Structure formats: C-alpha cells, structure tokens
Amino acid sequence: MRENSASQLGTWAFIGLWAALATVLVSDINRFLWPVSEKYVDHIGAGGADLLPSFNSARALLDGQSPYHYEHKWPRVPHSANYGGFLYQYPPTHALVYVPLVWFTHGNFGLAARVHFYLSLLAIAAVAVALVELTGAALTLSRDLRRALVPMIAVVIALNPGSQLGFERGQSDVFTAALCWGAVACFQRRRFALAAFLGVASGLLKGYGVPFGAGLALLGLRRDAWRATLLGAAFALLVLLAPVARYLPDAVGAYGTRAEMFWSSWNNQSIYNLVYTFSPPSAAWGRKLAIGASGLVTVLSWWRAHRALARGTEQESAIALGLFTCSSLIFILTFSLNSLVYNTALVLPGGLFLVLVQSSLSSGAPAWRTHALGLLLAASAFGLFAMSALRVVGRSAAFDPPLHAIAQLVLLAVIAALCVSPLRRTEPRAERRRVTSRKPSAR
C-alpha cells in the first residue's frame, strides 16, 4: 500500500510550515498589544505611496509623454519624487502594465489603490497555486492535501510583515513572484511557451526576474521545447517591451540613482545591511562576497536543473527547478543596497518549497543529516517570516539585524549542498519497498 499524503510531506515539513504560520500570526496579532499602534511601518498617512509614481507614469504614457520626464496635468496625492532629474525609477515596462489600471479607473488614484490591493491578493493566490503545483510534482500529494495547502500558503505569505508593507505602499513585488513561480510551474508541466512568456515578463517589470528568466529560457532550448520557448519569449518582448523600448536609455539613467540609495533600518533586509549592522566598513566587501557566492550557487543550481531535465525523474526535475528559482532570486537581491521587506515576496515561496519537499531532499541520507536539514529549514522559515526577532514580540531596539538576510544565506548554503550531491531517484519509499518485496518471489 502506498504511504498516505501526509507522510510524503514528512515531520520536518510540518514543523517548518507551523514555524512560518506561528511567526506571522504572532507578528500580526501583537499590534493589539498596549499601546495600540502599528509595529512594522512608520505612519505614512494615505496608502499607495509607491504606487503613485507608476500610476502617474502610466498616465504620462497615455498622454504621449515620457514616463521619466513629464508635465503634470493631474492632481498629485502626494507629489511624485524627483530622483536625479527623473520622475520614475523602474523599467518602462513597469509603467506600461499600469496603463490598463489608469484606463479602468479613469485616472482615479484612490480607486486604483483599492483595485491594486485586490490584484495583489490574487497574485498571492497565484503564487500559492504555483508552489503547490511544483510541490505536487516533487512529492506524492493527494488532491485534498493540495487544496488544503493552497489557502494555508496564501495566508502565510499575506500575513508576512513584508507583504503587508507591500500592500500598504502599493508595491508590485508580489506580481514578479507570481510570474516567476508561475513560470517554473508551467515549465514543469511542459507548457514551455507560457513559461517563457512569464519568465521574460518577470524580468521586464523591475528586473528582479532577469537571471531567472534567462536561465529558464536556456533550459527551454532543448530539442522538444526550443520553438515554444522562443515563441513565448519573443511574444513577451513584443507586447511588454517593444511599445516602450525608446525609453530604455532613461531607464538606465534612473536606475543609477536608485542603485545608490541606502539606509540602515530593520526594513532594509539586504545582505549589505546585514554586514553594515555589525561592521559598516565591511559592508562593501561583504556585499561583493555575497554576490559572488550567490552567483556561484545560481550557476550550480542551473546546471543541476539541466542535468535533471536531461536524465532525471519528474520529481528530480521539479526539485531542481525549485532550487534554481530560489537561488536566482536571492542572487538578484544581493545586488541591492536597499532590499526592503516587500522584496521578500520573491524568496518566501522558495523557502516554503524547500520546507515542503525536504523529505525528498534527504531521501537516503543518514538520520543526522535529515534532522540537520530540517532544523536549518525551520530556522530559515522563522527568519523569512519574522524579519525582526524583536518585532515578533512587539518590541524594537537600535541593534536589530535583518533576519531575512540571514535566512537567505542559510538557504544558499542548503541549496549549494544539495546541488553538489549526486542525483538520486526520489520515488516514494513505499514504492521502493513494494518493488523490493517482489524480488524474492521471482522465478
């Protein structure tokens, strides 16, 4: 008889999931402790502060103006910032995708902010579905367990303090996360054209998905998939980049200003800020070291995915694709001096994926390795979802190291160890026992 679905997840998977769920619940509920106040973000007033530049730049596109240099013909609530002579910092595609929102709301920013909030919730649901789809390919999960995991994962991600800050400010990182994890789930199901489209789109929004999209496209250039991959990538470039390609020089100039921004705060979960918290003079070389290490892990994980797709099982391929997705997104975040907490939407699914599939990751390994892996992933789940150990219990202090940055380093170490281990068959243990039991009776 096959093992039930719960046993396929493994004990440590449930420990890691509950560590994440308990962390976000306590972090969210402690706002009601005396004195009643918001414990995570400074009071800003009306929400959508980060949505407004994209909204106004989309207005400029509709008005035939540059999204980076335009004259205001509409009220500004509040006014848009000016960054080194540019009114916008993100790639032009990011402004382009907000054009339908401007059109739908007839330029009503308050309505647009509300619509954006609900779209963000839908994006989180899409991330949860994609994550469970990928996990289901790596493990033997019943349909009922898959349906139960989707809302649990969505709630865990939505209650994350970084996600909540993204909701309040109108950030789009959760959309990039949905594109990346949706792309890898589609790739696993051999929907190569859609996977390539989503992968390229993830890189065109804010640039976070560039290493991931490029790597996924290279994985798709195989005998049975290269036509669909090229078609999906070309369509993404045609629809999302070509209409605004003339603004790319301005985008490059605006990025230079954004790349130099830095402030040390618990909201800044960058590895640069992690090193800066302990030793400001060491922050620059620490960041360079992190970039080199995460880049190496990304290359290793891509090669592992390439090998798994060439001669592995469906389970091996799903796990390898998840490792590559997680490491490539951590890699791009290591470049940032300011990786604010809403960026965590990119890596949270990767951390949860490793938590869920760790029974396969440690298949055939000694017991001590299994428990060590479980402890590391449970600790990383706490770091990813707590952000600040002090703020979980409603307190703050001057010395507050960014836990998410620490969790990123733990995940990189785990992924590196998994990438250099040999490929193993990962069919359920019950199946192996059943095959073995038939051998003595063979004639």
pLDDT digits (tens, 9 = 90+) for 25-44: 777 766 666 555 555 555 45
pLDDT digit string (tens) for 382-439?
999 887 877 777 676 777 888 999 999 999 999 999 998 875 544 444 443 333 334 4
Burial of 227-238, coded b for 16+ CB within 10 Å and e otherwise, reads: ebbbebbebbbe
User: How many angstroms separate the CA atoms of 91 and 102, rounded?
Assistant: 18
Partners of residue 268 on adjacent β-strands: 340
Mean pLDDT computed over 90-110: 94
pLDDT digit string (tens) for 174-219?
999 999 999 999 999 999 999 999 999 999 999 999 999 999 999 9
Write the CB contacts of 273 (distance below 8 Å, at least 6 apart in sequence).
Answer: 262, 264, 265, 283, 337, 338, 339, 402, 405
Write the CB contacts of 21 (distance below 8 Å, at least 6 apart in sequence).
Answer: 152, 155, 156
Matching residue, tokens 């596109």: 61
pLDDT digit string (tens) for 227-253?
999 999 999 999 999 999 999 999 998
What tokens appear for 397 in the block?
């202090």
pLDDT digit string (tens) for 41-78?
554 555 688 898 899 999 999 999 999 988 876 655 44
Q: What is the pTM of this model?
A: 0.87
CA end-to-end span of the chain, whole Å?
Answer: 23
Q: What integer pLDDT is reported at residue 442 of this predicted model?
A: 43
Mean pLDDT taken over the chain: 85
Residue with more model confidence, 443 or 376: 376
User: Domain coordinates of the chain in residue numbers?
Assistant: 5-33+46-429
pLDDT digit string (tens) for 253-309?
888 777 788 888 878 899 999 999 999 999 999 999 999 999 999 999 999 999 999
Q: What integer pLDDT is reported at residue 312 of this predicted model?
A: 76
Q: What integer pLDDT is reported at residue 390 of this predicted model?
A: 77
Q: What integer pLDDT is reported at residue 78 of this predicted model?
A: 47
* pLDDT bracket for residue 2 (50, 70, 90): very low
